[in-house]
Amino acid sequence: MNSSSVAQYLLPVLVALPLGGALLIQLLKKISKLTSDIIANSILLVLVVLVFSLLNSPMLVYKVGGWMPVKGVPIGIYLVLDGLSLLLLIIINTIGLISLIFSISYMKKFTNKPLYYTLFLLMIAGMNGVVISGDLFNIYVFLEVAAIASYSLVAFGTEADELEAAFKYQVMGTVASAFILLGIVIIYSTTGTLNLADIGRVLKDKATEAPIILTGILFLVGFGLKGAMMPFHAWLPDAHPSAPAPISAMLSGVLIKAIGIYALVRIMFNVIGVTPIFSNMMLCISAISMTAGVFLAFAQWDFKRLLAYHSISQMGYVMLGISLYTPLGILGGLFHMLNHSVFKSLLFLNSGAVVYGTGSRQLKRLGGLNQKMPVTGGTCLVASMSIAGLPPFNGFWSKLIIIMACIQSDHFFLAALAVLVSIMTLVSFLKVQRYAFFGSLKQGLTDIKEVPFAMCFSMILLAFLCTIMGALLFPGLKEIFIDPAVNTLVNGREYISLVLK
């Protein structure tokens, strides 16, 4: 057994382990209060180790149940690990671990902690399942696992507005799933198969037929709803602020990428093939998301709501980079996706720490928190500079690459827009810093304390990542972390032959 075949057996473990952990928590929760904390955190730790051990591995294809293809036609479900999946796996599990460490203290304010951990692990299992799946219907099933876990986590506080936000989120999410399922049905009826690579092979020169174009639009709407791109964003500004802070960090930092953008990009770029009309449509949507998101964020005085609107805007950058469809643009988009997951999770964790310390998230009621909560203030400053794109933090490098890619492919207007949005983001975060962290301490906030160690630890870890992640662009690191993912998208439909060989 050589090393790649051992690595192959790790693929199903990525789903089976968090799932088993969730079940174990439910079976063993009576034993002690600490069981759920220990099981959940250790499982995420093991997952992170597993994912990093998969770095540098070649493309892996795993056939569930041992069902080998018959006459070249796959009959079982394939699990596929390539550069893009690996990038997403790193994001999901690392941010998941850090959010879980944050939860140890933060979730003490809520009742029934084991239930929270169960749902969290199910969400991780769902997202891992989506990312490593090579089968269209399998993607749908695991997308629903992640989505249903996230709906109930948004309502975990069971206050009136949280329930409302969760209901709205779930209605939108279910409509999105219906669109995706309709697309899957049309694909199945034209091709007779569900394996992504096999679909790509059958559709080789059918990408311009009417049903396939309709499918593309259905997937764009469906995954666009899940990923909160601009005309379909209505649920996000309610759902993300309502969730407990670690869940907001997961939703904004990971979920909208894993079940929104990743799934869309995987299906459109690697399987169906991108037509110019489609990529122009994506460019339009991303430009609108980018600009409108930041304008809407401007008017917000609720800390978490402001961050939620910035998520829409930053995801616009990611989409812009990817849909330019040049190697440089895809590099910028994917790198920004990685960076966004780090700094946006940090910002949401900061907002959680502020709520934990002061009980309020209205910027106008805060002020001078730097004197009492130095760790939160300091890490938030790092994250703000990172999201606004100031050197030397990670956000600067990825935005720079995206803007360069725009200029390189003659989209000068989009480049100017990207710079403008970046400046607006800076102004918006100056407002946050000015009202919440600098200035004089407001009355009533005099006896607040810094948050407990576990929360500080996870925020410092993320701030450290923000500072050093620019280094991922250096030769040596770039080849390991980012280039395989970029190549997956640049090579487009070569994916098909790689999987089927």
Where in 231-270 is the site for another protein (CB under 8 A)? 234, 238
Nearest approach, Cβ of residue 415 and another protein (Å): 34
Nearest approach, Cβ of residue 55 and another protein (Å): 22
Give the residue, chosen from 125, 258, 268, 318, that forms a contact with another protein under the rule CB under 8 A: 125
Peptide bond into 58 cis (omega under 30): no
Nearest approach, Cβ of residue 47 and another protein (Å): 16
Give residues 76-95 in contact with another protein (rule: CB under 8 A): 76-77
170 three-class SS? helix
Angle, vertex CA 391, rays to CA 385 and CA 393, nearest 5? 60
Q: Give the integer Cα–Cα distance in Å for 271 and 280.
A: 18
Q: Which is nearer to another protein, 56 or 362 (CB)?
A: 362
Q: Which is nearer to another protein, 180 or 417 (CB)?
A: 180
Of 240, 218, 266, the residue nearest 84 (C-alpha): 266
Site for another protein contains 73 (CB under 8 A): yes
Nearest approach, Cβ of residue 194 and another protein (Å): 6
Give the residue, chosen from 155, 330, 375, 485, that forms a contact with another protein under the rule CB under 8 A: 155
Q: Which amino acid is at 476?
A: G
Give the residue, chosen from 46, 63, 454, 467, that forms a contact with another protein under the rule CB under 8 A: 63
Point out which span in 56-64, 257-265, 271-279, 295-303 binds another protein (CB under 8 A).
56-64
Site for another protein contains 64 (CB under 8 A): yes
Give residues 135-154 in contact with another protein (rule: CB under 8 A): 137-138, 141-142, 144-145, 148-149, 151-153
DSSP string, 199-250: HHHHTTT-TTSHHHHHHHHHHHHHHHHHTT-GGG-TTHHHHHHHS-HHHHHH
Q: Give the integer Cα–Cα distance in Å for 275 and 203.
A: 13
Of 18, 105, 90, the residue nearest 458 (C-alpha): 105
Q: Which is nearer to another protein, 232 or 435 (CB)?
A: 232
- 102, two tokens: 């944050």
> 418 near 402, Cβ under 8 Å?
yes
Peptide bond into 237 cis (omega under 30): no
Nearest approach, Cβ of residue 151 and another protein (Å): 6
Give the residue, chosen from 26, 279, 409, 467, that forms a contact with another protein under the rule CB under 8 A: 26
Using CB under 8 A as the binding criterion, the count of chain residues that bind another protein stands at 88
> 480 near 90, Cβ under 8 Å?
no
Give the residue, chosen from 156, 303, 343, 435, that forms a contact with another protein under the rule CB under 8 A: 156
Give the residue, chosen from 38, 55, 185, 277, that forms a contact with another protein under the rule CB under 8 A: 185
Q: Give the integer Cα–Cα distance in Å for 342 and 369.
A: 23
Point out which span in 165-173, 328-336, 361-369, 370-378 binds another protein (CB under 8 A).
165-173
> 357 near 451, Cβ under 8 Å?
yes
Give residues 191-230 in contact with another protein (rule: CB under 8 A): 191-195, 198, 202, 209-211, 213-214
Nearest approach, Cβ of residue 76 and another protein (Å): 6
- 265, two tokens: 């990009």
- 242, two tokens: 């309502």
